[in-house]
Structure 1
Amino acid sequence: MDQRQPTAEIFEDTVAMAVRAPSVHNTQPWRWRLSDRSVDLFADPARRLPSTDPTGRALLLSCGAALHHLRVALAVHGWSAAVEYLPDPADQDHLARITVGAESPARDDIDLGAAIVHRKSDRRRYCHRRVPYNRLRQVAEHAVPFGAVARVVPPPLRTPLGHTTRAAAGRHAHDRAYLEELAKWSGRHGTADGVPAANTPRPRPGDDISQRAFVEPELADTSFEIDGSEWLVIGTAEDDCCSELRAGEAASALLLTATSLGMASCLQTEPLGIAELRSAIRTDVLHDCAHPQAMIRLGFMPASVAPLPPTPRRPVHEVIDTAVRAESALPGGHPSSNRARQERRRSYA
């Protein structure tokens, strides 16, 4: 039996890779606690977005994506990861406990680990080159190990999906609280979180499926080609907190796989934060067979387009708790968000 134990430096290195995961408005709503052979993942409710993400679903998806990034990072360093989801019923923000063991990395682990460094949320227009169906299927299959499905949106269903994205944009354009929240977290310059102005292009009203508009976009988007984007909708059989967390893992697996195959990608959630629009996507796109949790846009960038600038991340020491805390919620947490998650968890128990 291999008696090696991961060092604090390895834990910190893997957390540094984990926090490269995408998160809603780049809020990075997670905290990590390290011990001898395990890592604990906590939500940071002080970074929840009440107007953008009223139920906390996008926060859990974000944390799930970081959890999968951590598992990949551990594998690259030669460690397996056994995950216990929602290990403490008394602490709604304690999302996962990851126990590690020695294990040699597989080739897929190395490929996904390399993709962590290169993946960025690219909201620009993709080129006319279509993604071959076998590659779409290869990407979509990576949702299955996490109890999720990834439905490729066929041409006939792009119209109803586009209707929901435009409806969400229209509502948010007149929602003062949403706009104030958006202004707080986007159009950033030189910060360690939030959406940088340099990484966001101007909205394209002519797109059949629109993307979230951010404040003061500065990213040049000069391609005049027909956009060959493909869309996938990630769904789960259940709609509880664990399902949302695992859907985030599935989203991370899809994004990293797409990156390893040379594709650009972007995670989308805007219409899923509005209950009736989410219900419409469930019916129109998933035929009431699954609960939609996230959307992913995939495609190829034109060869002439410059790479995106790095998206900022907070320093690792700011997201790692080195001391064990006795309290059941993080300081600065929102009791209302905890109650909402408790109600949802009871609803699907």
Structure 2
Amino acid sequence: MSATGTWDQDTFAAAVGEAVWAPSIHNSQPWRFRRCAHGIDVLVDRSRALPVTDPDGRAARVSCGAAVCNLMLALAVAGAPAVATVGHGGAAVRLTPAGGRPATPRERRLHRQIRRRHTNRSPFAETRVDAGVVAQLAETAAREGGWLDFVEDEPGRAALAALTRQADAQLRADPGYAAELRTWTAAADLDVEGVGRQAAGAAPHPAELMPRRDFGGPERDATRDPTHEPVVAVFGVHGDHAADEVRAGMVLQQLLLLAADLGLAVAMYSQPIEVPEVREQLRLVVHRLHAPQLVLRFGYAPTTCYTNRRPVADVIDPEGRG
């Protein structure tokens, strides 16, 4: 801690170095971090908005929430944990010191997965996910203030897949969407942002259970999903306001890190959330009061290439330096 009772610059910068490994749509990394007299502010970087895919900034707020989760884990492991206040002033989240204490075993386990976790765009193996593992994921979501509804019956999975395909087709028919996607994929293998061909996995195939976004990966021969009982779920939180979307990101990252700790691969599908009428249909399918935030698939798959990240200096607000 510094003389003011907040984190010193080295602790702050090291924690930000972990925060930036959170997931974000198109790997746009829409966050900034500011060290101030009262703590750390995490802000949405509106200059990195996706006006077609994310016109209201929902996905950017979810991404910032995921970064906050990483940031809090890093501070806890450094022995300087934080308390989060969502929607503080102009910040997405303000972190304030919570006093010194050792990190818990759970915090240490999840922290170790921050740089190991990645969105998996490979075909999933025909390997059953144990029911106890599924229960751990659902319990974690509930404990952290969210919900994770697993779609376990064949008709339900078919309905979920159909909604995802409907949304994906509607998005791809929009020239503005296609142009925006190209902006975040062109030459991204050598860039610090976006999704390059190496990280994209193979090109999506029409016979896949649920269509992945096409980031320009190579064609593959597989013509079907080999998994007979895929583990798919709809994720959300109890609320539909901007602060709830930030909280959704915090809960989501807890789930993703736990999944990595359990040896699971995770694929994320946001297309049915990005089309309002499809999102409403999805809400009705899972019988929830509040709109879902993401569709997730859990299973086993080979590790794919990681997306790059911007340097820490690029995401720290100049007002917070020194």
> What's the counterpart of residue 312 of structure 1?
308
The 8 Å contact of residues 41 and 95 in structure 2, kept in 1 or not, is answered as yes
State the Cα distance separating 1:74 from its structure 2 match: 1.2
The 8 Å contact of residues 207 and 225 in structure 2, kept in 1 or not, is answered as no
The 8 Å contact of residues 199 and 307 in structure 2, kept in 1 or not, is answered as yes
**1:40 equivalenced with 2:41 (yes/no):** yes
Which whole-Å CA distance do the structure 2 matches of 1:5 and 1:208 have between them?
48
Q: What are the superposed Cα offsets for residues 79-126 of structure 1, whole Å, 9 maximum, x if unpaired?
A: 2211111111xx3xx111001231210110111011112111111111
Q: What is the correspondence of 1:1-349 to structure 2 with a 5 Å cutoff?
A: 6-35=7-36, 38-88=39-89, 91=90, 94-100=91-97, 101-155=99-153, 156-187=155-186, 188-200=188-200, 201-214=202-215, 216-218=216-218, 226-227=226-227, 229-284=230-285, 286-301=286-301, 305=302, 307-323=303-319
Letter in 2 for 1:111: R
Which whole-Å CA distance do the structure 2 matches of 1:255 and 1:221 have between them?
29
Structure 2 gaps of 5+ residues are none
Which whole-Å CA distance do the structure 1 matches of 2:242 and 2:211 have between them?
27
**Count of residue pairs the alignment pairs up:** 313
TM-align CA RMSD: 2.1
State the Cα distance separating 1:36 from its structure 2 match: 5.5
State the Cα distance separating 1:26 from its structure 2 match: 0.2
Which whole-Å CA distance do the structure 2 matches of 1:253 and 1:114 have between them?
12
State the Cα distance separating 1:172 from its structure 2 match: 1.8
Which whole-Å CA distance do the structure 1 matches of 2:230 and 2:75 have between them?
32
The 8 Å contact of residues 6 and 37 in structure 1, kept in 2 or not, is answered as no
Which whole-Å CA distance do the structure 1 matches of 2:77 and 2:231 have between them?
30
SS of the aligned residue for 1:292 comes to coil
SS of the aligned residue for 2:72 comes to helix
Structure 1 gaps of 5+ residues are 326-349
TM-score normalised to structure 2 length: 0.91
Letter in 2 for 1:43: V
Which whole-Å CA distance do the structure 2 matches of 1:219 and 1:320 have between them?
39
Letter in 2 for 1:146: E
TM-score normalised to structure 1 length: 0.84
State the Cα distance separating 1:274 from its structure 2 match: 0.7
Letter in 2 for 1:183: R
The 8 Å contact of residues 128 and 299 in structure 2, kept in 1 or not, is answered as yes
Which whole-Å CA distance do the structure 2 matches of 1:321 and 1:131 have between them?
42
Which whole-Å CA distance do the structure 2 matches of 1:219 and 1:196 have between them?
15
